[in-house]
Amino acid sequence: MYNNKTLVNPKKPSLKKTIGLITVYTFLIGYLLIVLYPLFWMVISSFKDTSEIFRSVWALPEKWLFQNFIDAWNNGIAEYFVNSIIVTSVSVILTVFLGALGAFGLSRFKFRGQNILLIVTMGSLMVSPQISLIPLYELMQSFGLYDSLWALILPYIAYRLPFTLLLIRGFFLSIPKDYEEAAFIDGYNIYQVFFYLFIPMSLPILCTAAIMSAYFSWNEFLFAIVFINSDSLRTIPAGLLQFRGVLETNWGVLLAGLTISAIPIISLFLFMQKYFLRGLAGGGVKG
Amino acid sequence: MDTKHKWTPYYFLALPSLMLLIFVYVPIFQNIGLSFYQWNPFMEGKNYIGFQNFINLFKDPIFYTALKNNILYVIISVVFQVGGGLIVAAILEDTVIRKLSPVFRTIYFIPAVISTIVIAILFDFIYNPQIGLLNEFLNLVGLDQLTKAWLGDSTTAIFAVIAVSQWKSIGYIAIFFIIAIQNIPNELYEAAELDGAGRINKFIHITVPRVKEITFVTTAVTVCEAFTVFNEPYMLTGGGPGDSSQVLSTYIYKAAFTNNEMGYAATISTILLIITLIFSIVQLWLFRSGKEE
């Protein structure tokens, strides 16, 4: 095949081709710098103090102030981190579990109302949380959940559930019926089939679903500022806003706080890219 | 199995359905109902005022500013994220670049994984009139006359906000196109090459028609996000200066929690619901007819 190609299209480095290649690389590298430079600037400036940020915007720090990071951590970031970890892990575990339950129900049975439930699930993909802000605010107050972490966890589960359920259902549909029939013959009941056969078999897709939900819960902002009032219960996005208000003039510490918040997610993404991209591919098909 | 498990599927679906019902579906209808009332968080009970909220809204200049800003958001986002994302993807999937493309792709995607609040505070620095990288850069290349307080000027604020969203999302949308382009059979390109087609021709005649479906999906996602956007405008300008960069979602927040007009906020939400519904239906319809061709 390759020989064929070279015969027809002999590799002569023509001028036109070189110019084209230079243009393309200029574009790609230019865009790369637009993405990376602000992040690089954030990291180096987080080691400076305010007056140095003012004096020399572009330069590397004269003295690397690691103290900024300690200050940021002790001035609230630590607390916001803990809250974010609690909210994210509880909502992710419950979202994936409920998603798997629903996916099993919607993929292994034929029953009345099946299509309606499927349409209802797909329809809720289109609903954005903003629209329900006022009724949810009232709901949280009447349930006594306002200003507690549950006020975030429960809606996060509900709004991530449709996508998670459909993603897992797509995978369950690809599992042949023979598997569960063999399990029934071995004396498994339907719940054992779900817990001991389907859950272990679909771990990769559950992992993808978990990462997608974690990403949502970790970054969600609107509910986080509306349903939480106490500073001690804030998650990172709402907390950082507060943090900015408190540190009005202490820019180095503020930037250190941003860096602390961004770096774990960027590294997690770099390591878990495969699962992330699979989630997007699955979401693209379903969305 | 189906007769033996007459009730079992309902056991599996009970909790997930309950969650959707309580937190997604019931609030939508409640919100429509609440649009007909007037109340604030400090009073007991609510006053029924019929369509008064809607009448006030249609006379409210801030509502039109917000709507205009959302439409700007939609147009610019579709051009840059869907159009730009497709072009970036096509370049990265070109055989000449392919070896390096995973590196570019990964780096372009990074802004999408960072919390919007981190990005917003960072860009607040970048737009800063005294120390901001943007003005410093303009000075450096001799375009001093273009420097300004990007977020503090009511003519540029909304564009500065929209630009941040583009920075965040182009790489994200590009990934969808990359996946779609990778699924195009290579033989199509090879056949076109045999016919002497250049890069641009291959892009227009093979890539674009073959990624039609994902273009619809990403456009739908982008339009919906641009209409409901809250984070970037709220964090960067809070809708200011003087409501000039208000969008519908930030106006909902302002009406409810700054002005304490809860019913009025619900009314804006209802309008937002109607807009997103219309767009969803139009897009579904376009998507269907696109598929049938």
Residue B20 lies in a domain: no
Domain containing B211 — which CATH number? 1.10.3720.10
Residue B18 lies in a domain: no
Amino acid at position A240, single letter = L
Residue B73 lies in a domain: yes
With an 8 Å Cβ cutoff, are A162 and B20 in contact?
yes
Kindly state the helix (H) or strand (E) to which residue B48 belongs, with its residue range: strand B47-48
Record the pTM: 0.88
CA distance B284 to B34: 29
Name the residue facing A287 among B15, B123, B221 (closest C-beta).
B221
Considering only CA atoms, which of A218, A234, A217 is closest in space to residue A226? A234
pLDDT per residue as tens digits for the range B120-131: 999 998 998 888
Name the residue facing A219 among B116, B217, B253 (closest C-beta).
B116
Assign B38 to helix, strand or coil.
strand
With an 8 Å Cβ cutoff, are A124 and B104 in contact?
no
Residue given tokens 């919390």 in the structure block: B115
pLDDT per residue as tens digits for the range A129-148: 889 999 999 999 999 999 99
pLDDT per residue as tens digits for the range A70-92: 888 988 889 999 999 999 999 99
Lookup: tokens for A252: 């180095």
With an 8 Å Cβ cutoff, are B272 and A126 in contact?
no
Residue B253 lies in a domain: yes
Residue B31 lies in a domain: no
Q: For chain A, what is the radius of gyration of the CA atoms?
A: 25
Nearest chain A CA: its distance from B118 CA (Å): 6
Name the residue facing B122 among A38, A106, A109 (closest C-beta).
A38
Assign A231 to helix, strand or coil.
helix
With an 8 Å Cβ cutoff, are B133 and A114 in contact?
no
Considering only CA atoms, which of B94, B103, B215, B235 is closest in space to residue B164? B235
Residue B41 lies in a domain: no
Average pLDDT over chain A reads 86
Nearest chain A CA: its distance from B156 CA (Å): 20
pLDDT per residue as tens digits for the range B160-206: 999 999 999 999 999 889 888 888 888 888 888 888 888 888 888 88
Residue B134 lies in a domain: yes
Considering only CA atoms, which of B98, B214, B288, B73 is closest in space to residue A280? B214
Residue B15 lies in a domain: no
Fold of A67-286: MetI-like fold (1.10.3720)
Domain total in chain B: 1
Using an 8 Å CB-CB cutoff, list chain A residues near B273.
131
What is the pLDDT, as a whole number, of residue A64?
Answer: 86
Using an 8 Å CB-CB cutoff, list chain A residues near B230.
130, 221-222
Residue given tokens 């575990």 in the structure block: A93
With an 8 Å Cβ cutoff, are A222 and B253 in contact?
yes
CA distance A63 to A56: 13
What chain B residue is nearest to A264 in terms of C-alpha separation?
B114
Range of the domain at B151: 53-292
CA distance B21 to A242: 33
CA angle B147, B151, B156 (to 5 degrees): 70
Q: What is the ipTM of this complex?
A: 0.86
